[in-house]
Structure 1
């Protein structure tokens, strides 16, 4: 059930909203169980086989947290975190490591070919954040319903944002219908949903036609011309932004319609003037997770420069591997780790880089490394890089109009969240949003309905 599908927009979401607001007024005690039930229906729509996996992981982690609260056994939480990572590893990485092992002489490991459960990376990280904070004494115990809703809340269960327990658990206790700004929240949530849909449907999806055929040709061993290479590289740069930030806007908007505020995930990342600045603006909740639960425990910047550079490199390499079980993802993360390390050395040397130059260098680095992120293999990535450098024939003409429009929207800003919260409630705004929503529905019915890129992770 895609956010950009008729079944979600015209059936599930309206029915869920009516049920939620009816129960919130008539039987408030049943509001959270209803949201849990709706979340499991949403998740099960994709593949009902994985509903027991999600439910089992919630129950197991909640029981472990409860047992830890009673006994404070120090090894219990680390064992639970290892168990969560092992489960993720079996589904997402077993075949990847089996393929690597089979490269060794005399080694033969069979692939198991398990289907990847949607959202497993995201709900695994939610478990880890809560358990780590519980062991550190920062998180309290919660009832099963609250914990289940924290993990499975349907706007964010499949592709985030990664929400800390401290950002949302207290909101579960509120009566969203009793707030004085309940109607305003609902209205702004609806505007965010419409804007996110428009970003996905009118900007992200059209760029797929510029990107997918070229990477497919590269994967088949065909040469990629200079114009095609730049078209597909720039096209993917903005496709992934509008696809993922559009999803996030929808998730935040839908949550607001249910009276809940989720953290922002993007802050005009293509205006960044350094790689460090980019990661403070791009997929902000993942960056925060990697910093607090990987980089800092590895030593961060507290144990000297070599340890800091090593921690940065390892954190980003693992972050790259989290995105996908492939060496190209690992290389993409490792390059960003090396780039962040270079930034640390530059700041240590007190080299001052003018903001325009910093923006240009950061943009070139980010754009070029996106090739590794998108390419299905190193050979395909190499074919695109050859085209970018002019080592292949010129190819067809460069289709620039959609890319230019996407670049303007992505760099000039502001973010959808900021724009929506600055707009005053007016009848003209309501009419404009209604028209935009109708146009989105017409576009969805007319074109191919692309799945969100981050669903594969």
Structure 2
């Protein structure tokens, strides 16, 4: 069930809000079980066969947490984390490693072609965050219903944001509609939902029409012209931003409708003046996870420069592999690891880069490396790179207007979260957002409805 579908916007979401509101008003003790049930229905709408996988992961990890607190057997936590990663690996990486093995002459490893369960990467990381904090003594025990809602809460189960238990568990105990700011939260939630949907429908999806044909041609071995290469590369740079940040805005807005505040995930990343600054603004909750649960665990910056550079490289390379089971994702992550390492060396040497130059260098690096992220193979990426660097026919028909408008929206002004919370409540504002929502619905009914990019991760 897509956030940008009629079945979600006009059926599931209104029904869920009514059921949640009735439970909150007349049976407060039922509120959390109702949200868990709604989340399972939402998750199972795509493929009910994977609901037992989600439920099994919740039950197993909750049981391990209780067993650990009861016995203090330290081995339980690493075993559980290993089991979570093993399940993720079976579904997401088994065919990838089979393909690598088949590069060896004489080997014929089979490909199983298993369907990747939606959200498995995200709910696996939620389990890991909680179990790691439990072992470190930072997390308490929670009841099964609360833990299930933490893992499966439907606005964030499929593509984040990655929410720490400490950011949301205490909110489960509140009476959200009894708060003095309940109406304001609902209003701002509707605004965020509308803004995110508009970003997806009016900016992300139209850019897909400029991007997909070029990368499909590159994957088919066709020559990509200079105009096509720049159109596809710049188009994807802003497509992925509006697609993913639009999803996040919708997730945060929907959560507010149910009285829950999720962490922000984007802070105008294309205004970053360094690669480190970019990763503090882009997919912020993933960056935080990689820093706190992988980079620091590998030594971080506490054990010398060489280990710090190695930890950065390993963290970003594994972060690239997390995004997709392919060598192009691995290379994308590795390049970002090298770029972050170069930034560390530059700061150690006292190198000061003017803000404008830093922005240009960062924008160029991020834009060029997106080619590896989007291309289906190194050969396809090479075809696009040839066009970018003028090693192909010039071509014509560069669609610059939509890209220029997208670039302006992505770099000028505040993030959607900040903008929505700055706007003062007014009837005119409510009318404007209501009208925008209707226009978006008409657009959804008129055009192709693209799936969110991050659903594949």
Equivalence for 1:351: 351
For 1:18 and 1:405, locate their aligned partners in 2 and report how far apart those are by CA, in whole Å.
38
1:387 partnered with 2:387: yes
- Please state whether the residue corresponding to 1:414 is helix, strand or coil: coil
> Aligned-pair distance for 1:394?
1.1
- Please state whether the residue corresponding to 1:66 is helix, strand or coil: helix
For 1:421 and 1:314, locate their aligned partners in 2 and report how far apart those are by CA, in whole Å.
38
> Aligned-pair distance for 1:109?
1.6
1:452 partnered with 2:452: yes
Equivalence for 1:83: 83
> Aligned-pair distance for 1:396?
2.4
Report how many residues are paired: 457
For 2:27 and 2:140, locate their aligned partners in 1 and report how far apart those are by CA, in whole Å.
26
Equivalence for 2:258: 258
1:101 partnered with 2:101: yes
Equivalence for 1:291: 291
For 1:48 and 1:413, locate their aligned partners in 2 and report how far apart those are by CA, in whole Å.
41
Equivalence for 2:139: 139
For 2:123 and 2:74, locate their aligned partners in 1 and report how far apart those are by CA, in whole Å.
23
- Deviation string for 1:262-320 (max 9, x for gaps)? 00000000000000000000000000000000000000000000000000000000000
> Aligned-pair distance for 1:105?
2.6
> Aligned-pair distance for 1:102?
1.3
Q: Report 1:186-205 matches (<5 A).
A: 186-205=186-205
For 1:248 and 1:440, locate their aligned partners in 2 and report how far apart those are by CA, in whole Å.
17
The Cα RMSD (Å) is 0.5
- Deviation string for 1:137-179 (max 9, x for gaps)? 0000000000000000000000000000000000000000110
Which structure 2 segments of 5+ residues have no match? none
> Aligned-pair distance for 1:18?
0.7
- Deviation string for 1:191-239 (max 9, x for gaps)? 0000000000001000001000000000000000001100000000000
For 1:394 and 1:107, locate their aligned partners in 2 and report how far apart those are by CA, in whole Å.
43
Equivalence for 1:20: 20
> Aligned-pair distance for 1:395?
1.6
For 1:55 and 1:180, locate their aligned partners in 2 and report how far apart those are by CA, in whole Å.
35
Equivalence for 1:233: 233
For 1:140 and 1:111, locate their aligned partners in 2 and report how far apart those are by CA, in whole Å.
41
For 1:101 and 1:337, locate their aligned partners in 2 and report how far apart those are by CA, in whole Å.
25
> Aligned-pair distance for 1:397?
1.7
Q: Report 1:158-169 matches (<5 A).
A: 158-169=158-169
1:121 partnered with 2:103: no
- Deviation string for 1:17-62 (max 9, x for gaps)? 0110111010000000000000000000000000000000000000
> Aligned-pair distance for 1:112?
1.3
Return 395-404 or 235-244, whichever deviates more. Answer: 395-404
Q: Report 1:32-431 matches (<5 A).
A: 32-431=32-431
- Please state whether the residue corresponding to 1:265 is helix, strand or coil: coil
Runs of 4+ off more than 4 Å: none
TM-score relative to the length of structure 1: 1.00
Return 102-111 or 274-283, whichever deviates more. Answer: 102-111
> Aligned-pair distance for 1:106?
3.1
For 1:403 and 1:113, locate their aligned partners in 2 and report how far apart those are by CA, in whole Å.
36
TM-score relative to the length of structure 2: 1.00
For 1:105 and 1:79, locate their aligned partners in 2 and report how far apart those are by CA, in whole Å.
35
